[in-house]
């Protein structure tokens, strides 16, 4: 397929994604499934270029305007071919279209040359470009982060790697890595979680025995740290208050050696049903599910005397996942962010009622925004003097975990792609003392 045709398809898919609230990966899969004439290498090229465009919209738009290119996809391609971004499409483009940079028309060649000269990823923004455009985000989001905002947002321009969590009840990380190596899959141990394996190539393990037999789950390394922050003991009663599809639920059961009682609650019945597949694969029997109202909490019959550990992985903006869901950062508004924070404060207060005396409350989000993270916890502590911040470092150390940037006395931890190579996630560990 000629490059012009590939760019036309990419432009069409970008328009579809920008208009739809559906996840980009699902839209891309539907788009490509309906066009069976597109070969596998060309599909990879289209997918990479479309996601690269979505991640770099403001910068790609700037390049497009500077050189009067046909549309934003051409600007994104110029960025990719300049080797100044966290992703390069040179090999994919050559394989898919048999085209090199020298074969491009003059405006595209000029755009690539300008990007190579002015957009060194290790440097600052050009003098005539705003920091927000350079960081590929909205100005208000950049302001909300503060001094490190540009570096943080720039770190989220590349694709996220595949991260596995090993079920340590049934196998070891070394054994799984050996099995992956025998399949020709290059893998590396995670930096933080003792159960994490990082794979940087494109692979599908969902039909492999390792996954089907519950030896591995797909879970970001930062997300795995939330389970360790909960640190449930055997026989503890645990509430996963916003369980979703149960990724953290199953990890908590693994940490308890499946010997406690875990109640997984969520407002979406369809997502709760996914937990059954996960628990079956992992051989977990200690989990029960409950459909609940978002801000009412549990029925009295479920609450009993209270739970030893309550995890509130609150609904949030998702700003820590923009490597996977790039449209999140373009669609979020200040008003929506405020609504998220207000809802989070209410949910946290609701489920705090279910914490037993001397029990643990862990609050978590997949966001990098202080308004959804530290500020929510600080407001909660001001209103609930019966809870205190409990240092996370010694809790994580019990699992052999030391995280860069974690103060020894702090009960709050923010991880992100720039500092830790993970998704952007926040967690806070609180203890009920009275």
CATH of residue 285's domain is 3.40.50.150
132 with 170, same domain? no
Whole-number pLDDT of residue 434: 85
- Summarised one tens digit per residue, pLDDT across range 191-226 is 999 999 999 988 999 999 999 999 999 999 999 999
Whole-number pLDDT of residue 98: 77
Among 113, 132, 154, identify where a domain stops.
Answer: 154
With a cut of 80, say whether residue 121 has pLDDT above it: no
Among 203, 218, 233, identify where a domain stops.
Answer: 218
What average pLDDT score do residues 401-413 get? Answer: 95
Q: pTM of the prediction?
A: 0.94
Q: Are 215 and 167 in contact (CB under 8 A)?
A: yes
64 with 38, same domain? yes
284 with 175, same domain? no
276 with 193, same domain? no
Overall number of domains in the chain: 3
Closest CA to 27 of 8, 45, 50: 50
225 with 213, same domain? no
- Pick 335 or 408 by higher pLDDT: 335
396 with 247, same domain? yes
With a cut of 90, say whether residue 144 has pLDDT above it: yes
Q: Which range has the top average pLDDT, 128-132, 173-177, 202-206?
A: 173-177
With a cut of 70, say whether residue 317 has pLDDT above it: yes
DSSP string over 353-410: TTEEEEEEEEEEES---GGGTHHHHHHHHHH-TTEEE--SHHHHHTTT---TT--TT-
Taking CA 220 as the corner, what is the angle to CA 156 and CA 54, rounded to the nearest 5 degrees? 30
329 with 401, same domain? yes
Among 102, 126, 154, identify where a domain stops.
Answer: 154
Whole-number pLDDT of residue 301: 66
258 carries a ligand binding annotation: no
Tell me the C-alpha distance between 399 and 406, whole Å.
Answer: 15
140 with 58, same domain? yes
Tell me what percent of the residues of the chain surpass a pLDDT of 70: 98
252 with 355, same domain? yes
With a cut of 90, say whether residue 411 has pLDDT above it: yes
109 with 178, same domain? no
Tell me the C-alpha distance between 172 and 180, whole Å.
Answer: 13
Kindly state the helix (H) or strand (E) to which residue 13 belongs, with its residue range: helix 3-19
133 with 274, same domain? no
With a cut of 90, say whether residue 313 has pLDDT above it: yes
327 with 207, same domain? no
Domain that holds residue 201: 162-218
With a cut of 90, say whether residue 295 has pLDDT above it: no
Instruction: Tell me the catalytic residues.
Output: 366
Mean pLDDT, all residues of the chain: 93
Count CB neighbours of 383 within 10 A.
Answer: 12
With a cut of 90, say whether residue 280 has pLDDT above it: yes
């Amino acid at each position: 397929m000629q490059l012009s045709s590939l760019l036309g398809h990419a432009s069409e898919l970008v328009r579809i994604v920008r208009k739809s609230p559906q996840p980009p990966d699902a839209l891309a899969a539907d788009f490509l499934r309906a066009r069976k004439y597109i070969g596998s290498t060309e599909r990879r090229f289209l997918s990479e270029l479309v996601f690269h465009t979505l991640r770099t919209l403001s910068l790609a738009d700037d390049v497009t305007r500077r050189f009067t290119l046909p549309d934003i996809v051409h600007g994104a391609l110029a960025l990719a071919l300049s080797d100044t971004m966290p992703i390069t499409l040179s090999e994919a483009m050559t394989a898919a279209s048999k085209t090199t940079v020298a074969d491009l028309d003059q405006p595209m060649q000029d755009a690539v040359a300008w990007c190579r000269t002015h957009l060194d990823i290790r440097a600052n923004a050009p003098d005539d470009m705003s920091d927000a455009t350079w960081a590929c985000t909205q100005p208000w989001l950049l302001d909300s982060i503060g001094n490190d905002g540009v570096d943080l947002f720039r770190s989220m321009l590349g694709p996220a790697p595949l991260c596995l969590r090993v079920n340590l009840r049934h196998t070891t990380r070394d054994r799984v890595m050996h099995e992956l190596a025998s399949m020709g899959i290059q893998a590396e141990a995670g930096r933080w979680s003792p159960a994490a394996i990082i794979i940087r190539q494109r692979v599908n393990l969902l039909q492999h025995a390792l996954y089907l037999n519950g030896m591995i789950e797909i879970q970001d390394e930062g997300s795995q740290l939330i389970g360790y922050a909960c640190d449930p003991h055997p026989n503890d009663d645990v509430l996963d208050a916003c369980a979703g599809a149960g990724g953290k639920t199953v990890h908590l059961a693994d940490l308890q050696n499946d010997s406690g009682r875990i109640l997984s609650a969520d407002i979406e019945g369809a997502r709760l049903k996914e937990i059954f597949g996960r628990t079956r694969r992992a051989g977990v029997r200690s989990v029960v599910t409950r459909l609940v109202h978002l801000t009412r909490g549990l029925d009295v019959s479920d609450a009993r005397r209270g739970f030893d550990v309550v995890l509130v992985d609150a609904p949030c903006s998702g700003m820590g996942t923009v490597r996977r869901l790039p449209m999140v950062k373009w669609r979020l508004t200040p008003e929506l962010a405020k609504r998220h924070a207000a809802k989070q404060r209410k949910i946290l207060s609701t489920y705090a009622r279910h914490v037993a005396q001397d029990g643990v409350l862990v609050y978590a989000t997949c966001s990098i925004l202080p308004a959804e993270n530290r500020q929510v916890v600080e407001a909660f502590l001001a209103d609930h003097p019966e809870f205190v911040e409990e240092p996370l470092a010694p809790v994580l150390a019990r699992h052999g975990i030391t995280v860069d940037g974690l103060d020894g006395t702090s009960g709050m931890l923010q991880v992100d792609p720039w500092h830790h190579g993970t998704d952007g996630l926040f967690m806070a560990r609180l203890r009920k003392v009275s």
